[in-house]
Amino acid sequence: MKIALTGVNGRVGRKIAGGALKDGHSVVGIDYADPNPEHEPHENFTFIKADLQDYQAALNAFKGCEAIIALAALPNPGDYLVATHNTNAVVSWNVLRAAAELGITRVAQASSVNVLGGYYNEKVHFDYFPVDEEHPCRPDEPYGLSKQIMELQADAITRRYKFMRVASLRLHWFIDPSWIDRVYNMPQEEAHKHLWGYTFESAGIRAFLLAVTAGDFTGHERFFVIAPKIGSRIKTSELIGEFFPNAEIKKELAHDEAAINSSKAERFFGWRHDDDDHGGTEAAPAAAAAKTEEVVAAPAEKTEEVKAVEEQADKPEEQVNGHAGHVEAEETVESALPEKVEEEAVVVPHETVHANGSAAVEPEAVADNLIDEKDIVVIDVEPIGHSACACCEESIVHAVSVEPEAIAAN
């Protein structure tokens, strides 16, 4: 199968491309920026540089493809104004409409658990447990709303173009198994907003590939793809009782059973997040120079709003609210740290820095994006226990201040 993969330059995009190539598929990797230097040449991989906010560019990029895995998006609310909402809503519609125009029958798109109204919300509310795909969605911020709109767009496109099948994968925090302690060490006042969940990378990568290659469903379907166990040492039932005492309990949950039910993905296309999901898919090969195309010229300089969102790219799937945020599968186009900054450095946007110069930084917040001179960079983010921020008394893991000159010096 010839698969178009948007957001291919990002960490997860590269790994999904690698998995697809390993399975014998051809991959057309699409991104807004030049090919990531970590890509390696492969005879079945072609890179196309395209701005998917341009519908014609999307049409040109997808020609000849049989399926699309859509990751490209801004991955958090940014400044909570318009950039994330407007960018994501346009890109997702252009991808779906171009697929319909070209007769592409299978699309898997990166949605999010935040459609429910999760970490970025001011407050979270769940009606019942375990949560499933029928639960009401109540986002109050632009990122979760953009994902809800993406899902509504898929409802509309498959209603009109009945030959299409779209899977919206509601992603959680995509982590390498080596990061699992970061899940367990997250303060409960933060963790409850995303229901203590996570997804191992290898399982998430497999979900995207199965969503376009397996099963025989039609139309648009929503799927949670989340680990079957929570990332907490406290019983699931006790956590729900503490944070959501008024929720209906539809099924009694075992000791550490997930608060979100992902069984629908297994029923529809055979996906399971197994306990042995510890193996990573090989990093994605990239286009050889001879096979690199540029569909459109590089767009004009980005607005300050878009820059603000991209500076927060690739954070835990879901946090911002003045703190750091979670890594989802989707990737923005500019996702490379300067050479001297370690791969797991944390970038804390300057908006989150308190007046006294300290910043609230979660240990799991791993960034993969461009660094602005106003950002704070934290090189070592191993959890060392909790403390209180000096100016707002919120529970945090580290309070640090790094001068801009320290960025270059690493």
Digit-coded pLDDT (tens) for 168-179: 999 999 999 999
Residue 10 or residue 246, greater confidence:
246
What average pLDDT does this structure show over 67-74?
Answer: 97
**Which pLDDT band holds residue 40 (cuts at 50, 70, 90)?**
confident
Rank 263-277, 281-295, 309-323, 334-348 by mean pLDDT and report only the highest: 263-277
What average pLDDT does this structure show over 272-297?
Answer: 49
Handedness of CA 201, 284, 111, 299 (dihedral sign): positive
What average pLDDT does this structure show over 27-37?
Answer: 93
In the predicted structure, residue 301 carries a pLDDT above the cut 70: no
Which pLDDT belongs to residue 106?
Answer: 98
Which pLDDT belongs to residue 362?
Answer: 38
What average pLDDT does this structure show over 264-291?
Answer: 64
Which pLDDT belongs to residue 37?
Answer: 80
**Which pLDDT band holds residue 274 (cuts at 50, 70, 90)?**
confident
In whole angstroms, what is the distance from residue 333 CA to residue 368 CA? Answer: 11
In the predicted structure, residue 370 carries a pLDDT above the cut 70: no
Rank 173-182, 204-213, 303-312, 357-366 by mean pLDDT and report only the highest: 204-213
Which pLDDT belongs to residue 306?
Answer: 54
In the predicted structure, residue 62 carries a pLDDT above the cut 70: yes
In the predicted structure, residue 241 carries a pLDDT above the cut 80: yes
Helix 83-102 × helix 142-160 angle, to 10°: 20
Q: Which residues contact 175 (CB under 8 A, 6 or more apart)?
A: 182, 183, 198, 199, 200, 201, 327, 364
Which pLDDT belongs to residue 36?
Answer: 84
Which pLDDT belongs to residue 361?
Answer: 38
Which pLDDT belongs to residue 11?
Answer: 86
Which pLDDT belongs to residue 336?
Answer: 31
Domains of the chain in sequence order? 2-269 (3.40.50.720), 337-410 (no CATH)
**Which pLDDT band holds residue 27 (cuts at 50, 70, 90)?**
very high
Which pLDDT belongs to residue 142?
Answer: 98
Q: Which of 176, 167, 267 is nearest to 221 (CA)?
A: 167
In whole angstroms, what is the distance from residue 392 CA to residue 18 CA? Answer: 44
Residue 11 or residue 239, greater confidence:
239
Residue 307 or residue 290, greater confidence:
307
Q: Look up residue 391 and give its two tokens.
A: 């100016």
Residue 406 or residue 193, greater confidence:
193
Q: Which residues contact 109 (CB under 8 A, 6 or more apart)?
A: 68, 69, 70, 92, 95, 96, 150, 154, 166, 167, 168, 169
Q: Look up residue 297 and give its two tokens.
A: 């010229």
In the predicted structure, residue 24 carries a pLDDT above the cut 60: yes
Which pLDDT belongs to residue 309?
Answer: 54
In whole angstroms, what is the distance from residue 379 CA to residue 398 CA? Answer: 12
Share of the chain above pLDDT 90, in %: 63
φ, ψ dihedrals at 257, nearest 5°: -65, 145
**Average predicted confidence (pLDDT) for the chain:** 77
HSE-CB of 267 using CA atoms within 13 angstroms: 8
HSE-CB of 158 using CA atoms within 13 angstroms: 21
Q: Which of 116-120, 247-251, 313-317 has the lowest mean pLDDT?
A: 313-317
In whole angstroms, what is the distance from residue 50 CA to residue 28 CA? Answer: 12
Give the other-Cβ count within 10 Å of 388's Cβ.
Answer: 11
What average pLDDT does this structure show over 364-382?
Answer: 38
| pTM attached to this predicted model | 0.73
